[in-house]
Structure 1
Amino acid sequence: MTSRRDLFRYAALATAAAALPSIGSAAAPASLGNAIPKAAKPLRILILGGTGFTGPFQVAYALARGHQVTTFNRGRRPIAEWGDRVEQLVGDRTTGDLKSLEGREWDVCIDNPTTLPYWVRDAGQVLKGKVGHYLFISTISVYADGSKGGINEDSPLAKYAGADAMAETRETLMANIEGLYGSLKALSEAEARKQFGDKVTIVRPGYIVGPRDETDRFTYWPKRIAEGGEILVPGDGQDPVQVIDGRDLGEWMIRLAESGTAGVFNACGPDYAMSMDAMVHGCHAVTGGPATFTHVPREFIEKNEVALPIWVPREGSPYSGYGAVSNERAIAAGLSFRPLAETVTDLLAWYRSQTPERQAEVRAGIARDKEAELLKAWHAQA
């Protein structure tokens, strides 16, 4: 089972992805191969971050829609293919260096990487009155109780138990990711409203997957299934799973900016109830090849302290509800989802374009020898 510690470890990996190199051509969403109509009104869009996981998808889609895009980050990963189509400002929110934002105005600001409230406070001090609409990427980890399905945007949020939220740093967060991540995100949301008022959009994704995902938490499954053989599947196959392709999230953020839609939205997918079995068989439909799936009960998984990403049992876990978060409000606001097969196909193509060393470094899931050992032990007692 994906334990509480593992869930926050994956969140930490996603946060740490901001320090990873750019991934080149994966920045362009697959949908750019189709004709994308221009927006009714071009916007001046400021993207804080912009070179991590979902940011490049936002940039590419915004450019295709005819918007003017500015990114602000530390300048460690400039994306060459943008060229002069994107203004790339340099600064560092960890040290409060936002000088390059001063004296400027934008129609929209999208805040991608923030996990600390003081980042929002400092941005607000520079941008207040200078942007018409502020969109903040949060997380479903803000909810106080993730144990039951049906979590909606009005569910209670995690409470901060530290001494001074504005004194928390990246270092203190990473040292206590389990205790701080959700509550600091919740406080960052509150700070966004304090700084930018009613023109704020809060987007709370769950598992973000697809090309550019450096955590491997979803990638483990299509990669493992493509290898074939006997595959350990946790539970009875009926536990619910929710994932959203990073391209669907990024492109929807731009559409929210275009419509000026404010409010709070759970960005979880798909738009139907997907089970663990549906996910693994959906991956297999793409990969093909000989593969068998062996379901192993939760009790055996827990006894052997196995960490399998994405999966959480539908009952009995502090995060059982993470597979059944309500996305009705987001869908009503225009969130749409590409087919799982497209996500898996493009993800595997991206992954296989990485270096052999990177492909050999599995950052989530279990190694093949460990899986074989567990399956042998399960068959021996079954």
Structure 2
Amino acid sequence: MDDALVIGGTRFIGRHLVTELLANDYDVTIFNRGNHDNPFADEDRVEHVQGDRTDDDALEAAADAVDPDAVFDCVAYYPEDVRRATRIFDDCEAYVYISSGSSYGREEIPKREDETPLEPCTEEQATDDSHDTYGNRKAEGDRAVFEAAENGVNAMAVRPPIVYGPHDYTERLDFWIDRVNRFDRVVVPGDGTNVWHRVYVEDVASTLRVVAERGEPGEAYNTGDRRIVTLDEMVELIADQLETDVEIVHAGPRELEAGDIDLEDYPLYRDYPHVLSTAKLADLGWESTPLEEAMGRAVEDHLESDRDGRENGPDREAEERVLGILDTF
């Protein structure tokens, strides 16, 4: 495969995907509405086609203009987006849809592609735009991929958990990097042993390429850091990259009440472990970036950016009240 069309391509996962494709000798076209700055505006091997992916005519015009070997769908948030794209790009060598670990409908450890059932999706959920139905919509997108493959389209899905790394506009990890960078004592909700599988963004990009090149139509592939760490271990890993020492202070619901804080107010906290099996992807020859290296790049990017993630979690004043209560015990 030589020519790739990336639907999206300028913000986070798509941005890293374009870089990954260029490093592997693809010519790339990005298709989006142009609402965000194009970081590849000066790159001769990256073309930009402006259009709305919900407009059939615009998407068909892109298909005719590019005639891509591989299509990577980074911004398919509704099942109809997937159905539209797999219909228009039905003759490409690979269509890869970015789904989500949230598409799984049962809590299992680990969640496996061919065993763990997906979330259901009603007609109302399929068109809803709230966070509550995100997993339902992604799961229905997976089913659209499977249906397209049954009809002869070389369509596949990739399911990442929480994605982190440079240019992460969600700022979830930035909250924790900022806390460790500014304070000697960091409040961690619960006992610090909770697990929410994460994946470095450059590894998502390499997953998408590997699946396009080596994956099987009609299959879904989990991706994620090959070494999973607890919230405590993540904070310590951040401290190591910042070359600082930090005291982790655990706070349960009773202690957090002093700051009017709930456990779920903290980003990357999850009560029940969320773990995805990545064995199926590894069988394609994929490997993840060593965790220390990935976190080092994420921390470096944070320090060079203006992101602080503070809106994602409790304010420090509220945490100081919690620390005051804990210091009296």
Q: Write the mapping of 1:211-290 to structure 2, written as runs, cut at 5 A.
A: 211-262=166-217, 263-269=219-225, 271-290=226-245
Q: 1:80 offset after TM fit, Å?
A: 4.0
Partner of 1:177: 131
Contact preservation (8 Å) 2:3, 2:70: yes
Say whether 1:342 aligns with 2:304: no
| 1:134 paired residue among 92, 95, 98 | 95
The whole-number CA distance in structure 2 between the counterparts of 1:211 and 1:137 is 19
Q: Write the mapping of 1:12-23 to structure 2, written as runs, cut at 5 A.
A: none
What letter matches 2:267 in structure 1?
P
Distance 1:301 1:202, change over 3 A: farther
Partner of 1:363: 311
Partner of 2:145: 192
The whole-number CA distance in structure 2 between the counterparts of 1:186 and 1:369 is 40
Percent identity of paired positions between Structure 1 and Structure 2:
25
Matched residue pairs, number? 319
Q: Deviations over 1:155-181 (max 9, x none)?
A: 11111134483xx2xxx41xx321x21
| 1:158 paired residue among 105, 119, 126 | 119
> Structure 1 unaligned runs (5+)?
1-41, 314-319
Partner of 2:39: 79
Distance 1:299 1:151, change over 3 A: farther
Q: 1:275 offset after TM fit, Å?
A: 2.1
Q: Is the partner of 2:239 in helix, strand or coil? A: helix
Say whether 1:308 aligns with 2:266: yes
> Structure 2 unaligned runs (5+)?
none
Partner of 1:45: 4
Partner of 2:323: 375
Q: 1:102 offset after TM fit, Å?
A: 4.1
Contact preservation (8 Å) 1:228, 1:290: no
Q: Is the partner of 1:145 in helix, strand or coil? A: coil
Partner of 1:14: none
Q: Deviations over 1:243-263 (max 9, x none)?
A: 111011112211222224442
The whole-number CA distance in structure 1 between the counterparts of 2:247 and 2:273 is 28
Distance 1:238 1:163, change over 3 A: closer
The whole-number CA distance in structure 1 between the counterparts of 2:50 and 2:177 is 37
Partner of 1:291: 246
What letter matches 1:371 in structure 2?
E
Partner of 1:125: 87
Moved more, 273-282 or 74-83: 74-83
Q: Is the partner of 1:321 in helix, strand or coil? A: coil
Contact preservation (8 Å) 2:148, 2:155: no
The whole-number CA distance in structure 1 between the counterparts of 2:280 and 2:253 is 32
Partner of 1:352: 303
Contact preservation (8 Å) 1:151, 1:321: no
The whole-number CA distance in structure 2 between the counterparts of 1:334 and 1:300 is 46
Q: 1:301 offset after TM fit, Å?
A: 4.5
Distance 1:286 1:362, change over 3 A: same
Moved more, 215-224 or 333-342: 333-342
The whole-number CA distance in structure 1 between the counterparts of 2:201 and 2:169 is 12
Q: Is the partner of 1:78 in helix, strand or coil? A: coil
Say whether 1:321 aligns with 2:292: no
Contact preservation (8 Å) 1:221, 1:280: yes
Distance 1:81 1:149, change over 3 A: same
Q: Deviations over 1:91-118 (max 9, x none)?
A: 1023443243243522111111111111
Distance 1:283 1:43, change over 3 A: same
The whole-number CA distance in structure 1 between the counterparts of 2:94 and 2:60 is 21
Q: Is the partner of 2:97 in helix, strand or coil? A: strand
The whole-number CA distance in structure 1 between the counterparts of 2:193 and 2:40 is 44
Say whether 1:331 aligns with 2:282: yes
Contact preservation (8 Å) 2:79, 2:137: yes
Contact preservation (8 Å) 1:101, 1:126: no
Q: 1:141 offset after TM fit, Å?
A: 0.9
The whole-number CA distance in structure 1 between the counterparts of 2:317 and 2:290 is 32
Q: 1:227 offset after TM fit, Å?
A: 1.4
Q: 1:289 offset after TM fit, Å?
A: 2.7
The whole-number CA distance in structure 2 between the counterparts of 1:277 and 1:79 is 35
Q: 1:85 offset after TM fit, Å?
A: 0.9
Partner of 1:59: 18
Say whether 1:70 aligns with 2:24: no
Q: 1:201 offset after TM fit, Å?
A: 1.8
What letter matches 2:262 in structure 1?
E
- Using structure 2 for the length normalisation, give the TM-score: 0.88
Contact preservation (8 Å) 2:194, 2:273: no
The whole-number CA distance in structure 2 between the counterparts of 1:86 and 1:273 is 35
The whole-number CA distance in structure 1 between the counterparts of 2:100 and 2:125 is 21
Distance 1:57 1:163, change over 3 A: closer
Distance 1:100 1:78, change over 3 A: farther
The whole-number CA distance in structure 2 between the counterparts of 1:182 and 1:273 is 22
Distance 1:298 1:265, change over 3 A: farther
Q: Deviations over 1:189-221 (max 9, x none)?
A: 222233344622211110100111111112211
